[in-house]
Amino acid sequence: MDSNSGRSSPLGASPSERGVNFSVYSRTATGMQLLLFNTAEDSSPSQVFELDPQRNRTFHYWHLEVPGLVPGQVYGWRTQGPEDPEKGFRFDPQKLLLDPYARSIVVPSAYSREAARRPGDTTATAMKCVVADRRGYDWEGDTPLGRPLSETVIYEMHLAGFTRHPNSGVAPEKCGTYSGLIEKIPYLVDLGVTAVELLPVFQFDSQDAPPGLTNYWGYCPVSFFAPHAAYSSSRDLLGPVHEFRSMVKALHRAGIEIILDVVYNHTTEGDENGPTISLRGLDNVSYYLLDADDPRTNADFSGTGNTLNANGSVVRRMILDSLHYWVEEMHVDGFRFDLASILSRDGNGEPLENPPILWDIETDPVLAGTKLIAEAWDAGGLYQVGSFLGDRWVEWNGVFRDDVRRFIRGDQGAVSQLPARLLASPDLYGHEEREPEQSINFVTCHDGFTVNDLVSYEAKHNENNREDNRDGNDHNFSSNNGMEGPSSNAEIEALRNRQVKNLMALTLISLGTPMLSMGDEVRRTQGGNNNAFCQDNEISWFDWSLLDRHGDVHRFVKYLIALRLHPEHLSLPPGMTLNRVLETAHIRWHGIQLDQPDWSDTSHSLALTMRFSTYRLGHLMLNAWFKPLDFELPLRSPAASGDWRRLIDTSLPAPHDVTDEGQEAPINQTGYRVEARSLVLLVAPLSG
């Protein structure tokens, strides 16, 4: 098969009427080979093209056009260059390498991460790329939804784990796939969430896990453009691309946005002893941060062994190209950036005051309508919650998580921190004159305990991870509420159920943008495992039988979401800053006596009265003490036009724990007994 010199742009494999143009970046390679395969399982190439540095290289771009090729062609790269670890060069001409811009990747049955780590030829054992035609899908008019954050409730979920369980009701061949999620969209609609935040769906290495286990979460990418092939129900090489798009289109039709958890801070290639799969073999010194004093060693601010050089020109462009692709060609609505603080580091790993990549993302016109969510910390010690740059980024509020957990657990000194968390953390964000939704409020996420385990375990139980329970966070602010693990004791179970509702209620009624974790609405458990990244089994999967077993919690969460998204709750003018919201809310703080809040370390109770919306006054009473407390109620406000009415009392058994709209019983006494470890929300209509 003949070839011609091809073009340096666009990067990746680009089909045309003539054939396919291939282009890849490497500044330090001295030679490049393109390998074509008849099938993904082939152990040797059908054809090898040796690129001529004079003819097939423009600046640092190696390129070649092969006439007659069509989408579905399997390919990979091999490089020649110095093997000089002292200078950071790690070329290995025996390693088959992935194209960083490949839109589809296939994992052969013989794939071996260990082979990619050892010396020797990996042609038979490596992942391979597939040429994809990105123009042929019929979107039927679909576009990203552009829902305001003020109208958003996020549901963080694992795409496969949502339907992997045998009791999911999904057709067996679709369990754990993009199509499987489509079948469960009615559940999400009924629950009321408006956006799903998917754990990583970029192609990742499932073998990046302790021996005998599987990487389940996917925070070990090998690509920033290809959807994970194992999540496709189709065996077609291009099935993942088409099936992902069909999932997005179906979610949008149901009014649900899709946010991707993206990992632009490291790859699965690990430290200097890790496998050579793609970037390391293409141009290690350009793509990764290396130790300035010892270039043999990767800088590690991710906790995984390597760190991408995000503010280097090549990686910076790759990140932007990736984001453009997922927005323009895959129609996603937003991104949650894993360990986003790494993106603020320079080529030496030092924090930058104005990181180019973050400003590029912030000001990019293609991304202007997308949601940008930062996990504003990294494993190297940067913690930027409340100080992440820009005017558009919103942040996972880890302070909300910890302070709410501590209060509900009944910790000493927790009351004084709670007001800020209930009010979108003005102590963290008020100086920026931003909207309340800048704070993404959550008490659980994929990383850590589920909400059930938060109230059922005093300590982590990660023995199944085969690391002698050393992994995972030791500071969970959890309580077993009477005994460790599952309990048949009715009193313990009732207390746990109440605490779950308390945690869910504070997440969903606080100012800010609420985020729930998959299955918390039915008390999903991981058996006390708070780091289930390697548990692709029933420890991590959504057990659909819990919908019957804990239907009262599901009903409670569903009610709270509907309450939050009710037009009356959303009646504040769009774009109002947090400070302005607080100025107009007329907040009064109380203890068990009106206007006498107890901020002491021994206090476990708090109440507040504020404008719940432009239509209603709200009065919230919180009791984290182990005994009932009698709270004074405010006299009917001059602005109120009716008695207090109870919406929520987590101490009451279902279905009385929440009250349907219009059915609220009047509360006309001067006080209210709030039972031990429970919360109560009352409302009164405002006149005029």
Which of 267, 325, 272 is CA-nearest to residue 294? 272
Which of 37, 39, 56, 53 is CA-nearest to residue 96? 37
Report pLDDT for 2: 64
Report pLDDT for 161: 98
Last residue of a domain, one of 535, 564, 593: 564
Q: What is the per-residue pLDDT across 505-542, written as a single tens digit (0 to 9) for each?
A: 999 999 999 999 999 999 999 999 999 999 999 999 99
220, part of any domain:
yes
Question: Rounded to a whole number, what is the largest CA-CA distance in the chain?
Answer: 89
Report pLDDT for 614: 67
Q: What is the mean pLDDT of residues 532-556?
A: 98
318, part of any domain:
yes
The beta-strand segments (E) located in 92-199 are 104-106, 128-130, 154-157, 195-198
Residues forming the active site: 338, 375
- In the structure, what pLDDT confidence band is assigned to residue 688 with cuts at 50, 70 and 90? low
Q: What are phi and psi of 376, to 5 degrees?
A: -85, 55
Contact between 569 and 587 under an 8 Å Cβ cutoff? The reply is: no
What is the 8-class DSSP label of residue 279?
H
Contact between 454 and 476 under an 8 Å Cβ cutoff? The reply is: yes
Asked if residue 591 and residue 511 are part of one domain, the reply reads no
Q: What is the per-residue pLDDT across 104-117, written as a single tens digit (0 to 9) for each?
A: 999 999 999 999 99
364, part of any domain:
yes
Report pLDDT for 559: 97
CB burial string 454-472: b at 16+ within 10 A, e below: bbbbeebbbebbeeebebb
Asked if residue 589 and residue 527 are part of one domain, the reply reads no
Report pLDDT for 205: 98
Task: Kindly report the CATH number assigned to the domain that includes residue 413.
Answer: 3.20.20.80
How far is the C-alpha of 264 from the C-alpha of 225, rounded, in Å? 11
Structure-derived torsion over alpha carbons of residues 611, 612, 618, 623, reported in degrees to the nearest 10: -120
Report pLDDT for 661: 75
662, part of any domain:
yes
Q: What are phi and psi of 685, to 5 degrees?
A: -70, 145
> What percentage of the chain exceeds 70 in pLDDT?
98
pTM across the whole model:
0.97
- In the structure, what pLDDT confidence band is assigned to residue 560 with cuts at 50, 70 and 90? very high
Q: What is the sign, positive or negative, of the torsion defined by CA atoms of 326, 327, 330, 331?
A: positive
Structure tokens at 657: 């724990």
Angle at Cα 542 formed by Cα 538 and Cα 546, nearest 5°? 105
Asked if residue 596 and residue 552 are part of one domain, the reply reads no
Report pLDDT for 580: 92
Report pLDDT for 527: 98
Contact between 673 and 651 under an 8 Å Cβ cutoff? The reply is: no
Indicate the burial class of 126 (C-beta count within 10 angstroms; 0-12, 13-18, 19 or more): buried
Contact between 228 and 204 under an 8 Å Cβ cutoff? The reply is: yes
How far is the C-alpha of 336 from the C-alpha of 263, rounded, in Å? 9
What is the 8-class DSSP label of residue 374?
E
Asked if residue 376 and residue 253 are part of one domain, the reply reads yes
- In the structure, what pLDDT confidence band is assigned to residue 461 with cuts at 50, 70 and 90? very high
Q: What is the per-residue pLDDT across 13-47, written as a single tens digit (0 to 9) for each?
A: 999 999 999 999 999 999 999 999 999 999 999 99
Report pLDDT for 675: 98
pLDDT surpasses 90 at 92: yes
Angle at Cα 499 formed by Cα 494 and Cα 504, nearest 5°? 130
Asked if residue 559 and residue 591 are part of one domain, the reply reads no
- In the structure, what pLDDT confidence band is assigned to residue 64 with cuts at 50, 70 and 90? very high
How far is the C-alpha of 150 from the C-alpha of 269, rounded, in Å? 39
Task: Kindly report the CATH number assigned to the domain that includes residue 635.
Answer: 2.60.40.1180
Q: What is the per-residue pLDDT across 238-269, written as a single tens digit (0 to 9) for each?
A: 999 999 999 999 999 999 999 999 999 999 99
DSSP helix/strand/coil, 588: strand
679, part of any domain:
yes
Angle at Cα 580 formed by Cα 578 and Cα 584, nearest 5°? 120
Report pLDDT for 666: 86
Q: What is the sign, positive or negative, of the torsion defined by CA atoms of 55, 60, 62, 63?
A: negative
- Measure CA of the first residue to CA of the last residue in the chain; give whole Å: 80
Q: What is the mean pLDDT of residues 308-313?
A: 97
Asked if residue 623 and residue 531 are part of one domain, the reply reads no
Report pLDDT for 512: 96
Report pLDDT for 622: 98
Asked if residue 480 and residue 592 are part of one domain, the reply reads no
Asked if residue 356 and residue 497 are part of one domain, the reply reads yes
- In the structure, what pLDDT confidence band is assigned to residue 346 with cuts at 50, 70 and 90? very high
Give the residues across from 53 on adjacent strands: none
Asked if residue 545 and residue 594 are part of one domain, the reply reads no
Rg of the Cα atoms in the chain: 27
Structural domain count, the chain = 2
Q: What is the per-residue pLDDT across 67-83, written as a single tens digit (0 to 9) for each?
A: 999 999 999 999 999 98
Q: What is the mean pLDDT of residues 174-189?
A: 98
How far is the C-alpha of 42 from the C-alpha of 119, rounded, in Å? 20
Report pLDDT for 572: 66
Q: In sequence order, which residues have a C-beta less than 8 Å from that of residue 235 and are 6 or more positions away? A: none
226, part of any domain:
yes
How far is the C-alpha of 267 from the C-alpha of 277, rounded, in Å? 10
Q: Domain range spanning residue 392?
A: 151-276+307-564
